[in-house]
Amino acid sequence: MTQRVLIAADKFKGSLTAVQVAERVTAGLRRVVPGVEVASLPVADGGDGTVDAAVAAGFERRELLVAGPLGHDVTAAFALRGDTAVVEMAEASGLQRLPAGVFAPLTASTYGSGEVLRAALDAGARTIVFGVGGSATTDGGAGMLSALGARFLDADGEPVPPGGGGLGELASADLSGLDPRLASVELVLASDVDNPLTGPKGAPAVYGPQKGASPDDVETLDSALAHYAKVLEEAVGAQAAEYAASPGAGAAGGIGYGALLLGARFRPGIEVMLDVLGFAPALERAELVITGEGSLDEQTLHGKAPAGVAAAARAADKEVVAVCGRLALPPEALGRAGIRRAYPLTDAEPDVAKCISDAGPILERVAEQIARDFLT
């Protein structure tokens, strides 16, 4: 029977990091099959946890002080290996950088994300994987671009206020001062969403409410971002309008749009991360792959980490099972995604609150069951 296992799971949000998921699953498997060979490759899809996944795969963690979404200093990290950097926008501009219960849909800025990108350039990066997701912001990447040398001015020639709301006052944009090193760097926009910048499927309408935006705020932001794209069209030409309509422009409050203006190439986040983390060689050596995330649901099937792992493993003819906190997909949907079977924590512990608070020990018990089903 199978004796070589690859654990390539994402975090269980709010309970366990991807690294902790791998540790707990390993412990459970070894309790049943002590000699099992386990390789661990924590994964992420470009959202929060992406830097941690890169560090777990051997990248060096670099930390610096940058502006958080409200302008206060926060410590953000990026990952570096050779001349490849992994930058996660949520490190500087994510929802987790806001005080508990505080939202700032109109004023939160991505300036700190631009500072992290600049630090990656300073560190000698020639390829930057820019993972975007989990943002507190809806500023179309204007803050990020400002940190990299762009200027966004109102009718009086003053910088517009930070955040998406302030873009309604934008009179002129000047991108000529952008850091010249950006022109010679390969910038990859890694995201699990393909929304355009504005409109019914745009960043404000779809993701604004998660960031505390009221219906009026959503309208204000959508109009401000449409105006921003129009002013940029006057500044840099027709491609500014093309980028606004492109897949990924609406990612992370429109920071995807800012990245496209910098010349980024959009790729599904999990695909990029599997490449960067060295998934293919790890997969080659495995006979069983265990993936997973906190909630296996409809969203999982649209570019989340477990779906990407399962697709790559299925293409290599490997058996895949998944662990999760809760399971909201029928067996046939799992099967279509390439997942043979899913093991939710709620099977071992029906109390959901307990599953969240004691996720580690419960996950070990679930892993024991996987070992009994597939390794003995």
- What local confidence, expressed as pLDDT, does residue 1 receive? 54
How far is Cα 197 from Cα 241, in angstroms, rounded to an integer? 10
At 21, give phi and psi (nearest 5°).
-60, -45
- The predicted model scores a pTM of 0.94
How far is Cα 164 from Cα 145, in angstroms, rounded to an integer? 13
How far is Cα 188 from Cα 185, in angstroms, rounded to an integer? 10
Which candidate, 208, 197, 212, 344, places its Cα nearest to that of 259?
197
CA torsion sign, 343 to 349 to 352 to 354?
A: negative
Scanning 177-250, the segments in alpha helix (DSSP H) are: 203-207, 215-236, 239-245
At 39, give phi and psi (nearest 5°).
-110, 140
Cα distances (angstroms) measured from residue 9 to each of 215, 247, 295: 36, 26, 12
Burial class (CB in 10 A: 0-12, 13-18, 19+), 237: exposed
At 291, give phi and psi (nearest 5°).
-115, -170
Query: How many C-beta atoms lie closer than 10 Å to residue 177's C-beta?
Result: 12
Tokens of residue 206, six digits: 């779809």
Q: Is 14 helix (H, G, I), strand (E, B) or coil?
A: coil
At 81, give phi and psi (nearest 5°).
-140, 115
**pLDDT 10s digit of each residue in the chain, 376 long?**
558 999 999 999 989 999 999 999 999 999 999 999 999 999 999 988 999 999 999 999 999 999 999 999 999 999 999 999 999 999 999 999 999 999 999 999 999 999 999 999 999 999 999 999 999 999 999 999 999 999 999 999 999 999 999 999 999 999 999 999 999 999 999 998 999 999 999 999 999 999 999 999 999 999 999 999 999 999 999 999 999 999 999 999 999 999 999 999 999 999 999 999 999 999 999 999 999 999 999 999 988 999 999 999 999 999 999 999 999 999 999 999 999 999 999 999 999 999 999 999 999 999 999 999 999 9
Contacts of 178 (CB under 8 A, 6+ apart): 145, 148, 149, 150, 262
From the CA atom positions of the chain, what is the Rg in Å?
21
How far is Cα 264 from Cα 245, in angstroms, rounded to an integer? 15
How far is Cα 51 from Cα 68, in angstroms, rounded to an integer? 17
Beta partners for 135? 94
Which candidate, 86, 88, 76, 180, places its Cα nearest to that of 133?
88
Tokens of residue 75, six digits: 């410590």
Q: Which CATH superfamily is domain 4-41+278-374 in?
A: Glycerate kinase; domain 1 (3.40.50.10350)
Burial class (CB in 10 A: 0-12, 13-18, 19+), 120: buried
112: which DSSP letter?
H
**Domain spans of the chain, in order of start:** 4-41+278-374, 50-270
CATH of 50-270, one of 3.50.50.60, 3.30.420.40, 3.30.9.10, 3.90.1510.10: 3.90.1510.10
- What local confidence, expressed as pLDDT, does residue 22 receive? 97
